[in-house]
Amino acid sequence: MRLFVALDPPADVADTLRGAVDRGRAHTPDLRWAPPSEWHLTLVFLGEVDEERVPVLTDALGREAHAHRPLRLAAHGWGTFPRDRRRASVLWAGLDGDTAALGALADGMRAAAAGTGVPVEHRPYVPHITVARSRPARDLSATAHALGTLRSRRWRAREAHLMESRPGRADRYRTVRTWALGWETDPTPPPERSTS
Alpha helical stretches, state H, 96-183: 99-115, 141-147
Residue 189 burial (CB count, 10 A): 8
Helix H or strand E segment including 156: strand 155-157
- If pLDDT is split at 50, 70 and 90, which confidence band does 186 have? very low
User: pLDDT of 125-140, one tens digit each?
Assistant: 999 999 999 999 999 9
pLDDT-based confidence at residue 170 (cuts at 50, 70, 90): confident
pLDDT above 90 for 171: no
Are 32 and 132 in contact by the 8 Å Cβ rule? The answer is yes
The dihedral through the CA atoms of 60, 66, 67, 72 has a sign that is positive
Question: What pLDDT, on the 0 to 100 scale, is given for residue 167?
Answer: 85
Q: Does domain 2-185 have CATH number 2.60.120.260?
A: no
Average pLDDT over residues 23-40: 95
pLDDT score of 102 more than 80: yes
Q: End-to-end CA distance of the chain, in Å?
A: 32
- What's the pLDDT score for residue 168? 81
- pLDDT confidence of 121, banded at 50, 70, 90? confident
Domain extents in the chain: 2-185
CA distance 156 to 158: 6
CA gap 73, 78 in Å, rounded: 15
> What gap in Å lies between CA 90 and CA 21, rounded to an integer?
14
Confidence of residue 112 (pLDDT cuts 50, 70, 90): very high
Buried b (16+ CB within 10 A) or exposed e, 126-163: ebbbbbbbbeebbebeebbeebeebebeebebeebbbb
pLDDT average, residue stretch 81-98: 96
- Span 172-191, average pLDDT: 74
pLDDT surpasses 70 at 89: yes
Q: Is the CB of residue 91 less than 8 Å from the CB of residue 131?
A: yes
Stated as kind and residue range, the H or E segment containing 81 is: strand 71-81
Average pLDDT over residues 95-115: 97
Q: What is the pLDDT of residue 190?
A: 47
- Would you state the pLDDT for residue 54? 96
Q: What's the confidence (pLDDT) of residue 122?
A: 84
For 147-151, what is the mean pLDDT? Answer: 95
